[in-house]
Amino acid sequence: MYMKFLSRIFSAMAGPRPIVLSGPSGAGKSTLLKKLLKEYDGVFGFSISHTTRKPRQGEEDGKDYYYVSRETMQAGIANGEFIESAEFSGNMYGTSKAAVQDVQAKNLICILDIDMQGVMNIKKTDLKPIYITILPPSLEALEKRLRDRKTESEESLQKRLDAARVDMELSKQPDIFDVSIVNDDLENAYRQLKDALIAEITKVQNAKKS
């Protein structure tokens, strides 16, 4: 009883658990994330990654990503500034220690939107997040979403689809993700995402009240 009480106190002091959101490019991670950040203002904080890819129309430096050169990114990695990094579809991506600390310092739930290589690398750290994968209903639906998004060259699109095939196979392993959500109907997928996060959301909301 007393131990249970102590463990509750320690887990509250440790702050909310971070969330890793992964899944094939085009599955709908950003779409779901935007809904979550909008509905739960002041509860979640997005871990802003670094990337060497060029900004898409409407994306902002310091909001969607920190857009950097390959040289800057490599120097940062060599300097130990990143908790994980990966090469994806011809570009580098990485989560800096500062990106996660910025969110955690505000006692918010830190959300990392990262690829499968990132997931495997985060598993070697002491971050201990909840791992969630967002999957498309099929590869065909994924390809249509990526084509309709009109953000990728044919080369980048094919690389993303190749990575998606591997990710979708790996995601079937029972020990990688805590929660697996098929984003077919958006509202249904969003409901499942909220259900998976409700314990952490409540923790932050209660901490704000006290």
Ligand X SMILES: Nc1ncnc2c1ncn2[C@@H]1O[C@H](COP(=O)(O)OP(=O)(O)OP(=O)(O)O)[C@@H](O)[C@H]1O
Ligand Y SMILES: Nc1nc2c(ncn2[C@@H]2O[C@H](COP(=O)(O)O)[C@@H](O)[C@H]2O)c(=O)[nH]1
Residue 84 sits in the site that holds ligand Y (CB under 6 A):
yes
Residue 29 sits in the site that holds ligand X (CB under 6 A):
yes
Residue 47 sits in the site that holds ligand X (CB under 6 A):
no
The beta-strand segments (E) located in the chain are: 19-22, 44-46, 49-51, 65-67, 82-88, 91-96, 109-113, 130-135, 179-182
Q: Which does 145 bind (CB under 5 to 8 A by kind): ligand Y, ligand X, none?
A: ligand X
b/e code 154-166 from CB counts within 10 Å (16+ = b): eebbebbbebbee
Residue 192 sits in the site that holds ligand X (CB under 6 A):
no
Q: Which does 53 bind (CB under 5 to 8 A by kind): ligand Y, ligand X, none?
A: ligand Y
Stretch that binds ligand Y, among 108-116, 126-134, 168-176, 185-193 (CB under 6 A): 108-116
C-beta of 57 vs 79, nearer to ligand X: 57
Stretch that binds ligand X, among 5-13, 47-55, 116-124, 145-153 (CB under 6 A): 145-153
Cα-trace Rg, the chain? 17
Among 126, 118, 136, which residue's Cα sits nearest to residue 176?
118
Residues numbered 39 to 68 that lie near ligand Y (CB under 6 A) are 49, 53
Q: Which does 28 bind (CB under 5 to 8 A by kind): ligand Y, ligand X, none?
A: ligand X
Give the x/- contact pattern for ligand X in 147-176, rule: CB under 6 A: -xx---------------------------
56 vs 67: CA distance, rounded Å: 11
Chain position carrying tokens 């909220």: 194
3-state secondary structure of 185: coil
Residue 180 sits in the site that holds ligand X (CB under 6 A):
no
Decide: 113 and 18 in contact? Cβ < 8 Å: no
Decide: 178 and 132 in contact? Cβ < 8 Å: yes
Residues numbered 6 to 45 that lie near ligand Y (CB under 6 A) are 25
Active-site positions read 56, 149, 160
Decide: 119 and 20 in contact? Cβ < 8 Å: yes
Residues near ligand X, by CB under 6 A = 25-31, 145, 148-149, 183, 186
Residues near ligand Y, by CB under 6 A = 25, 49, 53, 84, 86, 88, 93-95, 113-115, 117-118
